[in-house]
Chain A
Amino acid sequence: MSVGLLSLLLLGLAALGFGLGRQRAIASVNGDARGLHSLPQYYGSSVALFTAVPAFLLVLVWLIVQPVVIESTITGMILPEDIGDGSTRELVMSDVRRIAEGIDVLVANGATGDEIAALVADPVALKARLGDAGVALAADINPHVATASAAYRGEVAMGRTMMSVAALALAVAGFLFAALRVTPQFRARNVVESFIRVLLIGASSVAILTTIGIILSLVFESWHFFQIYPAKDFFFSLTWSPKFGGGSDLGIWPLLWGTLYVSFIGLLVAVPVGLMAAIYLSEYASPRVRSVAKPALEILAGIPSIVYGLFALMTVGPFLRDYFSQPLGLGESSSSVMTAGIVMGIMLIPYVSSLSDDIINAVPQALRDGSYGLGATQSETVKQVVFPAALPGIVGAVLMAASRAIGETMIVVLGAGAAAKLSLNPFEAMTTVTVKIVSQLTGDTEFASPETLVAFALGLTLFVFTLGLNILALYIVRKYREQYE
């Protein structure tokens, strides 16, 4: 039974439960709903919820757990000698899945069970039939792999059936349990509300689960990486030259350098411009100017980063190359640290300015009045009173902008280049952590090689970096706000 059909069945059962629960409640008081503890629909809802929710949760958990369980039993069927040179258990397992899918195709095309059994016993014929059906396989099929595939199919099918049976049984059980509880004294509203409360709590823990998921996946795969590549080399080597085929140097420093260099230039553009814009808008601009300039800057904030990336690639890069780096003899490449940095700066201007705007507005007017009352000009007041008072908040805003810059991907992918270099010349192409994550993980990659897994270690580094900056920034800003509340 497919998941879709099962869902429909469960929903149907729930709807039935709603009707029945409601009816039973009304019948129990001979049609006079005033005799009930709660409104009739709460009785219906209680039955529907008890029918559908546990069953759906079961299906969800089953769908997550089943592949893991099946994987581990099937992996046991593959002997060490079945794994060829240069291959890995994971690769063989992906063959198993592929063959199993191929057999599914054959069955869909009308092959009978006996035919399949015969094919599984004869791997050469199996490969031919699969090829005919459009499932091409690179290598010959090992007999063990063929039987494993058949077993895999069997377990998947059985798992599905068991899941359907279990889910339906649970739904019916919930249905009966809840339906039998319907009496006039039954506190249906309270039950439904507690149920909803649990669902709400569940929803709010999705955020936690996401974080846990991120941390687990990063740590788990990074751990894999450090088992096949020494952590010392990753953290201390100054060269990055991945070679697919072994013998790679995977030192993080050139990437970190590029990342920090690009971010630094980005902040160099964004912080002065964004800060001055915020100061002008909050201290000087007339309401009319403000009502035009502020939304215009916010448009800049709403533009996706791929657009900035394209801008860097097609406009800023060639411009810098033709008018600065080539005439000055500083470089030949249109993608460079400068290109990516300037465009990133533009992207960050509205971010810095809106954060600083909030922070400057939080400085009490009394301080400005105090300064004006002493005969200070507006700029003196801004520079010597407002700015120092807002400084902690502004530092927080800059840190947040820095974390954004470090984690930005599309601008550097399209604007910074791909060469991992430790150079001071900003007109040279360099690369960043995010660029390398993208390049190591896109395309056909083999999941067990250090060249691929390094992306997870890079991701972990990136995550730790940005998270640290953010927690620090949030802490500073929170402290700052408390000061003026």
Chain B
Amino acid sequence: MNDMRLTERAVTEKAKMSARKVQVYYGSNHALKDVDVDILDKTVTAFIGPSGCGKSTFLRCLNRMNDTVASARVEGKIEMDGHDIYDTRVDPVQLRAKVGMVFQKPNPFPKSIYDNVAYGPKIHGLTRSKAELDEVVETSLRKAALWNEVKDRLNAPGTGLSGGQQQRLCIARAVATGPEVLLMDEPCSALDPIATAQVEELIDELRSQFSVVIVTHSMQQAARVSQRTAFFHLGYLVEYGETGTIFTNPSDPRTESYITGRIG
């Protein structure tokens, strides 16, 4: 299976986002040190590592979500398509439209299913008519593999769905904005195994359209869905490479210890 992906990767090997020497501080706490990563286009990249290792922190740097935390400070350089996203001229709002995000806990807005999905296109002005918007909502829900379950109750509140459905709704919501990169912060940690499987399947499908970066606790999940894996430990990026290599032949002893369950 991995062989197949290797050939695919050869076609799309082009850095969509690249990070160099990224440091993050929370107040006086140096949370992330010297991180260099290239996120490839149309690839699923997994960030793994024990709790508190900085993987989520790094994820939140990629769409400047850390801006909303008053005490956070980011140094170093993160580029997207050659532009520094921390350039003062960059509007984080525009950036986030391109780099969407799905969170650990499903967080549908207390609105109808339709309005949840339509929220992004509406605020960014992506559609010109109601018909277009309807179409965006439908395709997004289809992409999130939710359409068949909710098409008859688009006006029901999004909070009334089951956990797995809620998370797929959040994915549909993120997809509807037409992102180039989709960040997922442990998207399955609050879901049961069946819902997890559905979401994982979805991630694999989304890969055909844009890069997906997923933070996960579960090494099995990283192995199942990702092509590239980065291992974080104590704020350092320890190892980054092809998923197959990381799991079968890690070069760093810490990676091996983590994968074999000795640290974590």
Contact = CB atoms under 8 A, between A and B. Distances in A.
- A–B direct touch in complex (beta carbons closer than 8 A): yes
A213 interface: no
B80 to A, nearest CB: 14
A368 B170 CA distance: 13
Contacts of A366: 103, 105, 107
A371 to B, nearest CB: 7
B100 A373 contact: yes
A395 to B, nearest CB: 14
Contact of A370 (B63, B98, B109, B124): B109
A367 B95 contact: no
Contacts of A373: 63, 65, 96, 100-103, 174, 183
Interface residues of B, number: 29
A380 B101 CA distance: 17
B63 A384 contact: no
A375 B107 contact: no
Interface string A64-107: 00000000000000000000000000000000000000000000
Q: Chain A binding site: helix, strand, loop or mixed by DSSP? A: helix
A389 B98 CA distance: 26
A375 B110 contact: no
Contact of B96 (A286, A287, A367, A375): A375
Nearest to A377: B93
A380 B103 contact: no
Contacts of B111: 388
Interface in B92-135: 93-98, 100-103, 105, 107-111, 119-120, 123-124
Given A369-B107, A371-B119, A376-B123, A286 B97 contact: no
A309 B70 CA distance: 41
Give the size range of A's interface with the partner.
20 to 34
B173 interface: yes
B177 interface: yes
B96 to A, nearest CB: 4
A367 B111 CA distance: 11
B68 interface: yes
B119 A374 contact: yes
Given A366-B103, A384-B123, A374 B173 contact: yes
Contacts of B95: 375
A296 to B, nearest CB: 21
A374 B65 contact: no
A15 interface: no
Interface in B204-233: none
Interface string A385-419: 10011000000000000000000000000000000
A468 interface: no
Given A366-B103, A367-B109, A388-B111, A372 B119 contact: no
Given A367-B109, A388-B110, A374 B123 contact: yes
B103 to A, nearest CB: 6
B247 to A, nearest CB: 29
Nearest to A380: B123
Nearest to A363: B110
B110 A369 contact: no
A154 interface: no
A385 B103 contact: no
Contacts of B70: 286-287
B86 to A, nearest CB: 16
Given A369-B107, A370-B103, A375-B94, 15 more contacts: A366-B103, A367-B109, A371-B119, A372-B65, A373-B63, A373-B96, A373-B100, A373-B101, A374-B120, A374-B123, A375-B120, A376-B123, A380-B123, A385-B109, A388-B110
Interface of A: 286-287, 364, 366-377, 380, 384-385, 388-389
5 contacts: A369-B103, A372-B65, A373-B101, A376-B123, A385-B119
